[in-house]
Structure 1
Amino acid sequence: MDTSQNPTLDGPQDHHPHCFHQNVIVMRHGDRIDHLDPTWVSKALRPWDPHLIDAGKVRAFSTGRRLRTQLGFPIHRVFVSPFFRCIQTASQVIAALCAVDDDPANTTADGVSIDPSKLKVSIELGLCEILNRENVKLELDPKFENWGFNISELEAMLPAGAVDHTVEPLYKELPQWEETTIGAKARYAEVFQALADKYPLENLLLVTHGAGVGVAFSAYLKDITVHEIDYCAYTHSSRSIILGEDQSFTAGNFEHQGQASINYST
C-alpha cells in the first residue's frame, strides 16, 4: 500500500517514521422491527431478517456523526454483516461519516450529500448473526440453508460510490445452520483479527451483531461480565503497526480504548 496516498491512522508514532496505530471499531446494528412489534415475524416474508425501525436509523446516523466528530481519526474501511438491519445501519453510519456540510438538523441519511471517496465498504459474511435457534428465534428446518442474501442487491443499498467490489471476502458462504454459540464467538474473533491483519494501515469499522460486539469488548478486558449491549453500541481497540521496508508489518497486541452503550460489571 502506498501510504503517501492514504491518510495515516494516527500519524507516525513513537518517533519511528514507519510506526502507526491501527484502530478497530466493532458496532452493533440499530433498533430492529421485531423487538418493537413481536407480531411482525408472523407476517414477514423473511422473518429471520428484520429491518430497522425509524428510531434505529436515527440512532445509527447519530452514532456515525459522533464517530466522525469525536474519534480523532478517520475510518478508512467498513465491513458489514449481510443481515438487512446491519446493511441499513452501515448505510446510515457511512452517510454520517462522509457527510459534506452536514446540517445538524439532519437525523438520518435522507437528503445528506456525501463524499464516498472518504472510505470503502464491503459485505463480509463472517460478520453475520450466530446461526442457531438460540439467536435466530424461529422454528426453522434443521437443514435450512436458503437465507436469500443477494450480495449485489445488498450492495446497492449502501451509499453509491463507497462499495469496494475488489475485496475478496473472508467467508465465501454463510456458516452452517445450528452452529454452536461458542463456535460462532470464535468465528467473530477470527474474522476481526483477519480483517485487521488484511488492512493493517487502515482504521476499520465492523458493523455486526450484539454477540460480536461482546466478543470484541471482552477480548481485551479480564474479569468482566457484560449485562447488555445496546443498539449501535460499539467498542474501540487499537494496536501499533511497524511497517517494514518490504511492506511487511509487525503488529503489537490490540488494547481496549473505550466503548459506548455497553453495560458491564467487573
Structure 2
Amino acid sequence: MDSSQTKKSQNNQQGDSHQFLQNVVVMRHGDRVDNFEPLWTMTAARPWDPHLVEEGRVRAFCTGRKIRNGLGFPIHRVFVSPFLRCIQTAHEVVYALCAVDDDPNSLSSKDVASIDPSKLKVSIEYGLSEMLNRQAIRANLAPKDGNFGFNASELQALLPAGTVDTSATRVYEELPKWEETVGGARDRYAQIIKALADKYPSENLLLVTHGEAVGVAVSAFAKDKSVYEVDYCAYVELKRPVESKNDSCSAGDFEVYTDHGKTGVSYVVGDGSLLDHV
C-alpha cells in the first residue's frame, strides 16, 4: 500500500474532524418604560411586563447594527426571553441583522425597507426570563396567582415575519416558578446559556435577555470577575472551541471575550481593581 492509500485508510478509520469557534452573545433588553414614566404601572394591564420606550427601540436597533458590523461573524440563531421588552428588543436587533440595505442612517426597524429572513432564525426561550422574585419584580406588581400570562403564539407574531423557528423545542418548556431564589435564577442563566450552545454547537447564537443574565455570562465563565453594572442593550461575547467528528461534536469551555471598545458591561476582578467596559 502506497503512502496516499495509507493516509486515506487512516482518514477513514479516524473520520473527518473539523475544529471551529462557537460564538454566543448575551444581550440585555433596551430602555423600559417604567424607568422613564414611574406612574405607568398604576394603569398598566400588565405592570410586570413593561414595553420599550422609543429610545430603547433605537438603542436596540443600533446595537444590532454594531453586532452585525463589528463582531466579525454572523448570528445564526436568536433566542429571546418572553418578556415584552425583550421581544421588542429582538425585533429591532433582527431587523438590523437582516436588513437588505444596511443604511448607516437608519435608526430603527421603521427605517428598513426590507429584510432577508433567511439569514437567521428566532425562538422564544422561557429559560431566559427575568428573575421571578421580589428582587426583580415588586411583589405588588406581580400577578397574584403567579400566572404571568405569556402567550407564545402572540409573542411570535411580534417578531419579524419569516424569522420565527416554530419547529424549535424549548429547553425550558414552562416559565420558572414565582419566588425563585437569586442563586437559583443565576444557576438557571448559566445552565441555559450552555444548554442552548450545546443544542446548536455549529451555530453562533444571540441571547436577548435581562441584566442579571448578562452579568452571569461574565461571572459564570470568568470566575475572577464580578459584574456591578449592565447598561441597556449591553452585551457579552463568549467563545469556545468545538470539534466536529463523525456527526458528533465536543466543545471546550467558554471564555469571556473582551473585544476592543465598550459594550456596556462593567465588572471588577478578584483583587477589586476596576476594568474597562467589555
Q: Could you tell me the TM-score, scaled by structure 2's length? A: 0.87
Q: Give the letter for the 1:263 counterpart.
A: S
Q: Cα RMSD between the aligned structures?
A: 1.5
- Corresponding residue for 2:275? none
Does structure 1 retain, via aligned residues, the 8 Å contact 2:228–2:266? yes
Does structure 1 retain, via aligned residues, the 8 Å contact 2:76–2:120? yes
Deviation of the 1:95 alpha carbon: 0.4
What CA distance in whole angstroms lies between the structure 1 residues aligned with 2:19 and 2:142?
51
- Corresponding residue for 2:192? 191
Does structure 2 retain, via aligned residues, the 8 Å contact 1:26–1:206? yes
What CA distance in whole angstroms lies between the structure 1 residues aligned with 2:51 and 2:144?
24
Aligned CA distance change for structure 1 residues 118 and 142 (closer, same or farther; 3 Å): closer
* SS class of match (1:97): helix
Does structure 2 retain, via aligned residues, the 8 Å contact 1:64–1:97? yes
What CA distance in whole angstroms lies between the structure 2 residues aligned with 1:86 and 1:48?
13
What CA distance in whole angstroms lies between the structure 2 residues aligned with 1:109 and 1:142?
32
What CA distance in whole angstroms lies between the structure 1 residues aligned with 2:248 and 2:211?
33
* Matching of residues 34-183 of structure 1 within 5 Å: 34-112=34-112, 113-139=114-140, 144-183=145-184
Aligned CA distance change for structure 1 residues 52 and 143 (closer, same or farther; 3 Å): closer
Does structure 1 retain, via aligned residues, the 8 Å contact 2:218–2:226? no
- Corresponding residue for 1:263? 266
Deviations along 1:116-147, one digit per CA (max 9) or x if unpaired, are: 00000000001000001111124157963221
The structure having more radius of gyration, on CA atoms, is: 2
What CA distance in whole angstroms lies between the structure 1 residues aligned with 2:194 and 2:30?
24
Aligned CA distance change for structure 1 residues 129 and 233 (closer, same or farther; 3 Å): same
Between 1:142-151 and 1:59-68, the stretch displaced more is: 142-151
Deviation of the 1:263 alpha carbon: 1.7
Does structure 2 retain, via aligned residues, the 8 Å contact 1:126–1:175? yes
Aligned CA distance change for structure 1 residues 34 and 130 (closer, same or farther; 3 Å): same
* Matching of residues 167-246 of structure 1 within 5 Å: 167-245=168-246
Give the gaps of 5 or more residues in structure 2. 1-15, 270-278
Runs of 4+ with deviation above 6 angstroms:
none
Q: Give the letter for the 1:232 counterpart.
A: C
Does structure 2 retain, via aligned residues, the 8 Å contact 1:241–1:251? yes
Deviation of the 1:39 alpha carbon: 0.7
Q: Give the letter for the 2:133 counterpart.
A: N
Deviations along 1:132-171, one digit per CA (max 9) or x if unpaired, are: 1111124157963221111101000000000000000111
Deviation of the 1:225 alpha carbon: 2.8
- Corresponding residue for 1:3? none
Q: Percent identity, please.
A: 59
Deviation of the 1:221 alpha carbon: 2.0
Deviation of the 1:78 alpha carbon: 0.4
* SS class of match (2:173): coil
- Corresponding residue for 1:28? 28
What CA distance in whole angstroms lies between the structure 2 residues aligned with 1:258 and 1:115?
30
* SS class of match (1:48): coil
